[in-house]
Structure 1
């Protein structure tokens, strides 16, 4: 009975050992790319950021495991059929996002190039939390929320128009941009806004190209786009 219960909670394809390694790997990443560039293990903003991220990411995983475990498997790796232009965009996006942490550590943690008031950090955490909540909400209602852009004929992809998708066509990118901007601000670094801005720009381009792809290749998406007019910001775009 215990084995059956565990299999019901963990969908086929989720590797528990990999999840454990990921959780271990996250602190190692912070040690190498945040505390080493900061030049100290006592950087309080770094510890607060790491604790916040671990709590929110863990909470998001628990929610998804309960309401939409299929998306956890779908997002665990790249899939066949990914658009070549998306691979190129991700080649800019991922390095830009990764660069936020060490640049912020060098700026605020070590050299104090551009000190900012404490309320900037609070604003950053609000943006970061909002972004991660929106992304998790989108993942919770959309089992086709994969890492890359492709038409998922192998999974019977259909238009999703519930949850945040009833308000905007690409809520995941809204959350991604808020997350990118919130990260450097929560760490108290204005210099780290440079890679965050690059990552956000990539997401804007990706939004436009993905929307064009879906309108051309996904059945029912054109009709959905007529009902939900805005890609990212209601009333603007």
Structure 2
């Protein structure tokens, strides 16, 4: 499984590098190398940790984002999300380097790096708490899925999405692209829509989920929504 993990990670990093450096027209882009170093380093550390402590979760995280039995609405939302997400990297490479349309202050780029690191810390904590956090909306009956209400889930109902928002915000800041920031609200809206549909699916499968939503009133961010 570790071989598969490192192979998929290498392919993903290579794809990210191509999406950044080809539109930029150069590899002389320090912020992009910092970004790739962060996601590659944290990703490798997380993979090794979960391979030892929760291989079942790692196996799920390595699975395809499009699977049999996955709701059609989830496939549609993920397809649009990935299209916008990957397209944003092309725009950021053009904006920050080739066109030089944006001049991002150093403090904003540093803030972006912090957002990404905090995002990873949140997501890591979520995965450590919830072994059923698969990349697709699917009831994992074969793994005895249950509703997790502890840890970050005692604060918001979708803490991984909350952490992902910080990543989405931090990426264009670190890469120095104001054009990239335009994609953030669109991607957040898709996460919000997915959370609503996901809760409907969970409520149909787990009768106790309704009580959980009453106890934890926020979906993505405390005191916001």
Regarding TM over 0.5, the answer is yes
In the alignment, what sits opposite 2:28?
42
RMSD: 1.7
Contact persistence 2:6–2:44 (CA under 8 A): no
SS of alignment partner, residue 232 of structure 1: coil
Contact persistence 1:177–1:200 (CA under 8 A): yes
Task: Confirm whether residue 162 of structure 1 aligns to residue 150 of structure 2.
Answer: yes
Q: TM-score, length-normalised on structure 2?
A: 0.91
The one of 54, 60, 85 aligned to 2:46:
60
Q: How big is each residue's C-alpha offset from its partner over 1:189-208, in whole Å with a ceiling of 9 and x where there is no partner?
A: 11012233322110011112
Q: How big is each residue's C-alpha offset from its partner over 1:170-211, in whole Å with a ceiling of 9 and x where there is no partner?
A: 101101111111111110111012233322110011112212
Contact persistence 2:116–2:171 (CA under 8 A): yes
Distance in 2 separating the partners of 1:91 and 1:169: 23
Contact persistence 1:93–1:202 (CA under 8 A): yes
Equivalent pairs counted in the alignment come to 223
In the alignment, what sits opposite 1:17?
3
- Residue 156 of structure 1 deviates from its aligned partner by 1.9
Unaligned runs of 5+ in 1: 1-13
In the alignment, what sits opposite 2:37?
51
Of 201-210 and 148-157, deviating more is 148-157
Distance in 1 separating the partners of 2:139 and 2:196: 16
The one of 32, 45, 59 aligned to 2:18:
32
Q: Which runs of 4+ in 1 moved over 6 A?
A: none
Contact persistence 1:68–1:139 (CA under 8 A): no
- Residue 145 of structure 1 deviates from its aligned partner by 0.5
Task: Confirm whether residue 181 of structure 1 aligns to residue 169 of structure 2.
Answer: yes
The one of 101, 117, 121 aligned to 2:89:
101
Distance in 2 separating the partners of 1:126 and 1:105: 21
SS of alignment partner, residue 36 of structure 1: helix
Between structure 1 and structure 2, the one with the greater Rg is 1
